[in-house]
Structure 1
Amino acid sequence: MEVLRVFNNNLVLARDDSGTEVILTGRGLGFQAKPGSRVVQERVVRVFRPDDGRDPDHLAGLLAGIPPEHVQLVSEALVEVGLERLAARPALVVAMADHVGLALERARAGQVVEYPLLAEVTTLYGEEHAQATTLLAAINARVPVPLPRTEAVGLALHLVNAGVATGDLAHSYTMTGLIQQFLDVVAAAHGVVVVPGSVTVGRFITHLRYLFVRIHQGRQLDDHRHSEVGEAIRRAYPAEARTADQLARLVELRLRATLSDDEVAYLALHITRIAQDAGQAP
């Protein structure tokens, strides 16, 4: 591999044998290295491959600004709990290492943060919260002052971000609150009990998470044109379509985005499945 840029003694930007730019860390890796020189392979500890078209120089600069012991702490903990694929994503490691660094400062000062939407995060993102709880235990096994259990919520939101690739924790908070509001509207409109752990509700939540990503990226299904599928869904399930229109108005109010007709129709289809499953429950 060839060195492209040296950020500090322990971090360089390089080009691997396939021509891809990668971020490399390792003690003394950048010492006396220069652009164009060969990477000392035996000094490489971790290889980060920028994803989602992110700028490698920018990510490397962010990574260089994080204490290396925090980067190592997060990376080792992720690997230990079976999240190796995430340990190789620099944007996540930067965000999580920065989060953990601030959490460690609070723990040393005896401060405990009460995260908003605690109940929503634990119920809507059960898998990520379970992973975050295990990750927190792995982190606490490596630090002198353990972090409180509430920090699992913050870690879970970082894992949610990794799944939808927004990189914006504020977006995840908004998304979480809006998903819960959607579930409340569906429950009230159709007189059903919505259980976040059920299969149909889980699919609805997954659909919403990626809907919000599409909104965030300015991409929607069918670009506001009517489709035969969407029209058929509206004719077959008029009550559910009206509920979907309510949800669309909430999106416009909260996210300042207008949903396409097809997006609303697919919301109606998910609402139909939830209502039908709730009606069949004993």
Structure 2
Amino acid sequence: MKVVRVLNNNVVLAVDETGAEAILTGWGVGFQAKPGQPVKTDKVTRTFRPENDRDSDTLAQQLAALDPRFLAAADDALRAEFEDRGSATVVALADHLSVAAVRVAADAATAAQPHPLTAEVKHLYPAEYAAGERILAHVNKQLELDLPQVEAVAIAMHLVNAGFHTDGLAETYRMTGVFGQLFAIIDTSFDIELDRQSISAARFITHMRYFFVRVSEGRQLNEGMSVLKDSLQLSHPQAVTCASRLASILELRLGAPLTDDEVSYLALHVARLVGEHHAAQ
């Protein structure tokens, strides 16, 4: 590989023999390096490649701006959890952890206050939350820190966000808040309390996560599933009514009308959620 750009002594943008660009990090990898020179491969400890058509220079600048200790800890922790950790996720997590460490150093009591979405994250994303707890423990041990348990929630949100390949957490936070509202409406409609960690709940959450993606891309389901709608109206009329309420909330929150097919699939998931709940009683 050859050096394309030196960001600092520890980060360089390089290109391999196929023309593919990568960002290489390691103590001294950029020291006295010049564009066009071979990369000091013995200095390289980590290799990052931009994904989803992201710009290599931007990723390189982001990596160069990070504290190397937090970058290493974030990358190691994510590698322990996932086969493909994703460069953008490493950057986002490393940046978050470094800021969290500053907050704890400034005011540990305030930094440890509960996250407003703790309950929603634990219920809606149990796998990501469990991974967040393990990543937090890994980082605390590697960096000899004492980041509070509440950071597992924020880490989980980054993991959820990674599944949608977006640049910020705003959409993930909004999505999580909407999910909590939808479950509350179903609970109220049927006078029950759904198990957010049930199989049907997991399926509903997965469906809704991809629904958000479809809406953002302007391609809702529209396959003419009138048979499904008619069948549900006969067999599960209360679920259809509840789905209409959910659809109204989603249209209000997302600013886009739902297709009949999307509402029908909402009703199907509501029927499954309520059916599983009653079967478990």
TM-score, length of structure 2 as denominator length = 0.90
Secondary structure of the structure 1 residue equivalent to 2:24 = strand
1:101 matched to 2:98? The reply is: yes
Counterpart contact for 1:192–1:279, Cα < 8 Å: no
Question: Displacement of 1:114 after TM fit?
Answer: 2.8
User: Aligned pairs, how many?
Assistant: 274
Secondary structure of the structure 2 residue equivalent to 1:39 = coil
1:233 matched to 2:197? The reply is: no
After TM superposition, the structure 1 = structure 2 runs for residues 85-234 of structure 1, keeping only pairs within 5 Å, are 85-86=84-85, 89-109=86-106, 110=108, 111-112=110-111, 113-222=113-222, 227-228=223-224, 230-234=225-229
* Alpha-carbon displacement from aligned partner over 1:102-121 (angstroms, at most 9, x marks no partner): 11111112232431111111
Distance in 1 (alpha carbons) for counterparts of 2:176 and 2:99: 23
Unmatched tracts of structure 1, length 5 or more: none
Question: Displacement of 1:242 after TM fit?
Answer: 2.9
Aligned residue for 1:75? 75
Aligned residue for 1:251? 250
- Identity over aligned residues, as a percent? 43
Question: Displacement of 1:201 after TM fit?
Answer: 0.9
The code of the aligned residue for 2:226 comes to E
Of 252-261 and 113-122, more deviation after overlay is shown by 252-261
Distance in 1 (alpha carbons) for counterparts of 2:248 and 2:118: 26
Secondary structure of the structure 2 residue equivalent to 1:5 = strand
Counterpart contact for 1:10–1:31, Cα < 8 Å: yes
Distance in 2 (alpha carbons) for counterparts of 1:4 and 1:249: 52
Counterpart contact for 1:107–1:145, Cα < 8 Å: no
Counterpart contact for 1:95–1:158, Cα < 8 Å: yes
Question: Displacement of 1:133 after TM fit?
Answer: 0.5
Distance in 2 (alpha carbons) for counterparts of 1:73 and 1:144: 11
Question: Displacement of 1:245 after TM fit?
Answer: 2.2
Aligned residue for 2:57? 57
Counterpart contact for 1:2–1:14, Cα < 8 Å: yes
Distance in 1 (alpha carbons) for counterparts of 2:19 and 2:244: 48
The root-mean-square deviation of aligned C-alpha atoms, in Å, is: 1.8
* Alpha-carbon displacement from aligned partner over 1:104-148 (angstroms, at most 9, x marks no partner): 111112232431111111111111111111111111112344101
Unmatched tracts of structure 2, length 5 or more: none
Distance in 2 (alpha carbons) for counterparts of 1:218 and 1:94: 29
Question: Displacement of 1:156 after TM fit?
Answer: 0.8
Residue 12 to residue 260, structure 1, CA distance change in 2 (3 Å): farther
* Alpha-carbon displacement from aligned partner over 1:192-249 (angstroms, at most 9, x marks no partner): 4311111011110111112112223433223xxxx33x21121011222332222222
1:272 matched to 2:267? The reply is: no
Counterpart contact for 2:81–2:131, Cα < 8 Å: no
Secondary structure of the structure 1 residue equivalent to 2:142 = coil
The code of the aligned residue for 1:272 comes to A
The code of the aligned residue for 1:245 comes to S
Question: Displacement of 1:270 after TM fit?
Answer: 1.3
Counterpart contact for 2:69–2:143, Cα < 8 Å: no
Secondary structure of the structure 2 residue equivalent to 1:200 = helix
Question: Displacement of 1:185 after TM fit?
Answer: 1.3
Residue 46 to residue 198, structure 1, CA distance change in 2 (3 Å): same
Secondary structure of the structure 2 residue equivalent to 1:259 = coil
Question: Displacement of 1:84 after TM fit?
Answer: 4.5
Distance in 2 (alpha carbons) for counterparts of 1:201 and 1:6: 48
Distance in 1 (alpha carbons) for counterparts of 2:19 and 2:251: 43
| Displaced runs of 4 or more, over 4 A | none
TM-score, length of structure 1 as denominator length = 0.90
Distance in 1 (alpha carbons) for counterparts of 2:220 and 2:23: 33
